[in-house]
Structure 1
Amino acid sequence: MDGFERRTSIKKEKILNISAALFQKEGIKKVSISRIAKEANVSQVTIYNYFESKEKLLYEALIYFVNQTWEEYLEIAQRSIPFEEKMKLFIFDKGQVASHLHEEFYNYMMDLYKTEGNYIEQLYQEKALPAMMQLFNQGREEGFIDSNISDTALFVFLQMFSDYVQKDEMGDQILPLTEELMKLFFYGIAGKGESKKPD
């Protein structure tokens, strides 16, 4: 990559970073290209040269957000800490982030997730699911997950959850319940996990 390509790449990432942050916080309709250009300290022409339209920028910003979120989850999953500590981080930190997504951005993401062969589903199947199964193996080894629960049962449970959230009418119901659903997912209805926030 030469100097021009590197500068272009850095500029595009800055635009995506700012766009994703604005869309998450303020929604889609309220955020204009001119606002993004001002925040990113670039011209509107530059944004259109890179992304052609607001719709394409929105899509790329969503992919950027999904990739960043995945990297953050993976970093936690790979830490040398007990399984239960990882679960607390997922629930209290990442769960709160998800629950504060603007409804427009969340619905856009869920609409994409419902399309066949979409990027989010590919990421889930190819990277997230194998990483989660490794994490569950750690939970078994530490006695947090019942060793009698097979990988097949866990996979079916995860797939049921994935299929459910893709239903048309589920988006509005799930978003405000994100933290509760994560607790239910990891601790079950018995609620054996500690509920206090980690230090």
Structure 2
Amino acid sequence: MDGFERRTSIKKEKILNTSAALFKKNGIKKVSISKIAKEANVSQVTIYNYFDSKEKLLHEVLVYYTNQMWEIYHKLIEKPISYEEKMKQLIFSEAQIVNDVHEEFSNYMMEQYKIPGNFIERLYQEKALPAMMQLVQQGRDEGFIDPAISDTAIFVYLQMFSDYLQKGDAIEQLVPLTEELMKLFFYGIAGKNDN
């Protein structure tokens, strides 16, 4: 990568990072290109040159933000800590993320998730699902997951969550229940057994 490409890449990343922070905090409608330009210390023309429109920028922010979240989860899954500790950290980080993201931006992400073949679905299928299955295996190895439950059954269970998220009204129902659903997902309806 030559100097020009490197500077361009750095500027794009700064614009994406700034936009993500603003959309997460303020939603989409209240964030203008001029506000993003001011916060990122670039011109509006630069933003339009790189992204053409606010809609295209928003889509690129979604990809950027989703990749950031994936990296956080992936690092956590790869940490050399117990399955139980990973579950605690996953539940906590998921609840924290939901609380930190403006409802309008969250709704946009869910709307994009409903589009067949979307980026989030591909990331889920190609990276997140295999990582979850790796985590399931760790849970089995450490005695937290019933060995009588097959990987196929777990995959179907995961797919049900994924399919439900693509329903039209899912977001309104799920956001207030995020922490409970994460606990239900990891510990079932019997809850966590401390014994």
Q: What one-letter code is carried by the residue in structure 1 that aligns with 2:128?
A: A
Q: Does the 8 A contact of 2:110 with 2:171 survive in 1? A: yes
* 3-state DSSP of counterpart to 2:144: coil
Q: Does the 8 A contact of 1:91 with 1:179 survive in 2? A: yes
> Residue 38 of structure 2 corresponds to which residue in structure 1?
38
> Residue 162 of structure 1 corresponds to which residue in structure 2?
162
Q: What one-letter code is carried by the residue in structure 1 that aligns with 2:44?
A: Q
Q: What one-letter code is carried by the residue in structure 1 that aligns with 2:176?
A: P
Q: What is the Cα deviation at residue 98 of structure 1? A: 2.1
> Residue 177 of structure 1 corresponds to which residue in structure 2?
177
State the alpha-carbon separation in 1 of the partners of residues 33 and 160 from structure 2. Answer: 38
Q: Does the 8 A contact of 2:94 with 2:178 survive in 1? A: no
Q: Does the 8 A contact of 2:20 with 2:61 survive in 1? A: yes
> Residue 21 of structure 2 corresponds to which residue in structure 1?
21
> Residue 9 of structure 2 corresponds to which residue in structure 1?
9
The residue correspondences of 1:27-176 to structure 2 (distance < 5 A) are 27-176=27-176
> Residue 197 of structure 1 corresponds to which residue in structure 2?
none
State the alpha-carbon separation in 1 of the partners of residues 96 and 179 from structure 2. Answer: 6
Q: What is the Cα deviation at residue 84 of structure 1? A: 0.5
* 3-state DSSP of counterpart to 2:85: helix
State the alpha-carbon separation in 2 of the partners of residues 186 and 21 from structure 1. Answer: 29
* 3-state DSSP of counterpart to 1:62: helix
Q: What is the Cα deviation at residue 193 of structure 1? A: 5.4
Q: Does the 8 A contact of 1:16 with 1:61 survive in 2? A: yes
State the alpha-carbon separation in 2 of the partners of residues 131 and 99 from structure 1. Answer: 24
Consecutive unaligned residues in structure 1, runs of 5 or more: 195-199
Q: Does the 8 A contact of 1:114 with 1:166 survive in 2? A: yes
State the alpha-carbon separation in 1 of the partners of residues 44 and 8 from structure 2. Answer: 15
For the aligned residue pairs, the C-alpha RMSD in angstroms reads 1.0
Q: Does the 8 A contact of 1:77 with 1:86 survive in 2? A: yes
1:132-164 per-residue CA deviation (whole Å, 9 max, x = no partner) reads 001100000000111111000000000011111
Q: What is the Cα deviation at residue 99 of structure 1? A: 3.5
Q: What is the Cα deviation at residue 103 of structure 1? A: 1.2
Consecutive unaligned residues in structure 2, runs of 5 or more: none
Q: Does the 8 A contact of 1:99 with 1:176 survive in 2? A: no
State the alpha-carbon separation in 1 of the partners of residues 32 and 51 from structure 2. Answer: 14
1:12-54 per-residue CA deviation (whole Å, 9 max, x = no partner) reads 0010011011111110000010110011000111100000000
1:70-102 per-residue CA deviation (whole Å, 9 max, x = no partner) reads 000000000000001000000012322123321
Q: Does the 8 A contact of 1:27 with 1:104 survive in 2? A: yes
TM-score of the superposed pair, with normalisation by structure 1: 0.95
State the alpha-carbon separation in 1 of the partners of residues 181 and 12 from structure 2. Answer: 35
